[in-house]
Amino acid sequence: MVGEVFADTARQHSIGWLHRHAIPALRALGPSGFARLGYAARLLYHPTSAVHPNQIMIKIILKTFLLMTFTFTAGLSSVSHAQTLTGEWVGNSEPNGRSEFLRLTLTENAGEMQKPLKAKLSLVQREGDRVRIELSSLKLVMMGTLNGDEIDGEAEVPGTKAHFHLVRTVKVASEVLARYLGAYRFPNGDHIVIDRFPNTQDTLWVTDVKSGQTRTIFPRSETQFTGGPALYVPSPTRQTLTFRDNRGQRGVHVIDLDRRDRQPGAFAVRVPIRQEEITFKNDDVTLAGTLLLPAAKGQRNAKHPALVFVHGSGPQSREMYWGLGYLYAARGFAVVAYDKRGVGQSTGKWREASFQDFADDAVAGAKFLQARMDIAAKQIGFWGQSQGGWIAPLAASRFPEAAFAVALSGGGLSPADTELFDTEFELIKAGYTADEVKDALAWQKLKNEIIASQDKWDEYAKARATAKDKKWFRQPGIDIYGAEKRDEPFWTFMRRTYFYDPAPTLRASKAALLAIFGELDTPEGVKAQVRAIKQILDQAGRRDYTVKVYPNGSHNLMEVPPDNPNEQVRLKRFPPGLFETMVDWTTTQVRRRATGRR
């Protein structure tokens, strides 16, 4: 049910490529060029045969032509034959220069919005090719034209109009999507990784490891998916993935218009990775997770270096950072990702835990690995992002045999000091005056004093009565909030983690450290974090550390436009080489451990 969207893409890939490359190349072979196609076809299945340079060219041309034919016919089988509104739709609206991701489920006279919020639509109406969709809670009206597998039109809420464009997708069972998760290797050694997140089991993301390009890919059938020009922008199609077996090897054909250095339709083989569901204990807390193990020939009986993924803040489950865990497994590492205590299948209460508790949970995962016969006991390390940037080094300091710690977007200052930099940056970015920013920071510092000790409660209560009416008090995305009452759980919760000082941990740890930051996370805060890490480790005589700052990187390291660091929908990539940098660096550390070097 791809309709014109897929058909246009197929024509663009096949006809355009053939006219630009295939036909001129065949003409260059001379009168016998077309006659040689029969022999070229045999070469595809007998690659050890002696080949002339011209025959190599024929092989490439024919392989591409056959693939394009396959892709085009696969697309035709998915095209809808009737003009119907019923189905799954994804797309974007663009109010005030922003882009919003939309996901809707529609019938001919009803429907539900899934994104950007979940709500039953109050009206779905179709007359011919004209479609009207309403969501009364937002006073939203969408008027568009249905054209096969696309709806194009205008959305309006009071005071704002915006163009919107939707394309049809299909619903694929979660267990089918699960079969596609993993790392895939191209013949030249490049990788892509495909992942999904626990709270979005119906959505796949693909990351090109070398370029950093990351997209949501949307199903056109059970085996074919397409991605657009940016993370949550599905059209026009820039990438097509077709999953299939190729001579007994599971993998995916990839057509990527943004990778001109890659042969269109190149086949990437799925790297064999074994997966086990595991549990391990930290005192009375049982932690449930997933273990990935390399399963390629020659690796099954080896002792593997290993990595434990550590969580960021909040109720997080077993995530592996956009498929990074699969890349580690493809490169020979065992990988553990587990549900945070009190989340998913793990017991305990994350709201009542300290950084030390979280670190000990990660250490329990490392001890679980250490006890296995297929793990190299002294080649285990930790990886963490955001709050995990503090916890991964802390876990390494509490696990004497730790080989390394990788910390992204945190770990040099206390969370309290980090949040002050963040508040200042976000308020300036949002257009607040210098005096407003000064007042907000003064309030936040007073709130921090109350977190540490409630001696100044009367002063705080008086200041809060004024602050709560300020516009900045309700500014999203900053840590400005302070509870109204002295006995609220907020104070105890914050006190457990907010003033954690990473300096003693960094000085004491014997594990190598890779600290990574995005320059546009909080620019002045990042500079302060980097200065602190370097100063602490240099004064301690540590030389086994690396600090990297990626230009245009955000808090999660995806590149953001410098003039719009809040962009989410139209993001395109991680810094090129980021994933490889992390895997290469950790590989170097475990090799040093294996040879006794530090």
* Contact criterion met (CB below 8 Å) for 253 and 241: yes
Amino acid (one-letter) located at 529: Q
Residues 325 and 434 in one domain: no
Residue ranges in 210-296 assigned as alpha helix (H): none
- CB contact set of 433 (below 8 Å; sequence gap of 6+): none
pLDDT tens, residue by residue, 372-406: 999 999 999 999 999 999 999 999 999 999 999 99
* Contact criterion met (CB below 8 Å) for 577 and 583: no
Query: How far is CA 90 from each of CA 164, 344, 435, rounded to the nearest angstrom?
Result: 10, 28, 43
What is the residue whose two structure tokens read 């097509």? 240
Q: Which of 348, 343, 355, 335 is nearest to 286 (CA)?
A: 348
The token duo for 190 is 């490049």
CATH number of residue 322's parent domain: 3.40.50.1820
CATH number of residue 112's parent domain: 2.40.128.120
Residues 197 and 149 in one domain: no
Calpha distance 280→288 (Å, rounded): 7
Calpha distance 282→308 (Å, rounded): 15
Longest dimension (CA), the chain: 95
Among 225, 246, 270, the domain boundary falls at: 270
Calpha distance 108→86 (Å, rounded): 6
Residues 195 and 141 in one domain: no
Residues 386 and 290 in one domain: yes
Residues 314 and 259 in one domain: no
Calpha distance 356→354 (Å, rounded): 5
* Contact criterion met (CB below 8 Å) for 307 and 334: yes
Calpha distance 113→106 (Å, rounded): 9
Q: What pLDDT is stored for residue 299 in this prediction?
A: 67
Q: Which of 227, 208, 174 is nearest to 323 (CA)?
A: 208
The token duo for 196 is 């999904």
Q: What pLDDT is stored for residue 2 in this prediction?
A: 30
Give the H or E element holding residue 416.
Answer: helix 415-429
Instruction: Provide the 8-state DSSP code for 474.
Output: G
Q: What pLDDT is stored for residue 328 in this prediction?
A: 97
Calpha distance 220→128 (Å, rounded): 24
Q: How many CA atoms lie within 13 A of 1 on its CB side?
A: 19
Residues 320 and 388 in one domain: yes
* Contact criterion met (CB below 8 Å) for 150 and 4: yes
CATH number of residue 258's parent domain: 2.40.128
Bridging pattern class, strands 140-147 and 150-157: antiparallel
The token duo for 350 is 């994350």
pLDDT tens, residue by residue, 178-196: 999 999 999 999 999 999 9
Calpha distance 360→285 (Å, rounded): 11
Query: Beta-carbon neighbour count of residue 49 at 10 Å?
Result: 10
What pTM value is reported for the model? 0.84
* Apex 211 CA angle, 239 and 429, nearest 5: 100
Among 211, 238, 270, the domain boundary falls at: 270
Residues 163 and 113 in one domain: yes
Residues 296 and 380 in one domain: yes
Calpha distance 44→33 (Å, rounded): 16
Q: Where are the beta strands (DSSP E) in 150-302?
A: 150-157, 160-169, 182-185, 191-197, 200-208, 214-219, 224-227, 239-246, 249-256, 266-270, 273-282, 285-294
Q: Which of 313, 345, 333, 322 is nearest to 271 (CA)?
A: 333
Instruction: Give the total number of structural domains in the chain.
Output: 5
Residues 346 and 472 in one domain: no
Length of the chain: 598
Q: Point out the residues of the chain with pLDDT beneath 50.
A: 1-81
Domain that holds residue 154: 87-169
Residues 463 and 333 in one domain: no
Q: Which of 9, 69, 17, 1 is nearest to 228 (CA)?
A: 9
Among 270, 305, 340, the domain boundary falls at: 270
- CB contact set of 215 (below 8 Å; sequence gap of 6+): 205, 206, 227, 228, 230, 231, 238, 239
Q: Which of 291, 262, 90 is nearest to 192 (CA)?
A: 262
* Contact criterion met (CB below 8 Å) for 377 and 485: no
Instruction: Provide the 8-state DSSP code for 552.
Output: T
- CB contact set of 329 (below 8 Å; sequence gap of 6+): 183, 271, 273, 292, 293, 294, 335
Q: What is the separation of C-alpha 596 from the centre of its chain, rounded to a whole number of angstroms? A: 35
What is the residue whose two structure tokens read 């739709």? 89
Residues 99 and 146 in one domain: yes
Tell me if residue 437 falls in helix, strand or coil. Answer: helix
pLDDT tens, residue by residue, 569-581: 999 999 999 999 9
Residues 488 and 542 in one domain: no
**What is 314-358 written as a DSSP string?**
SS--S--TTTHHHHHHHTT-EEEEEPPTTSTT--S-GGG--HHHH
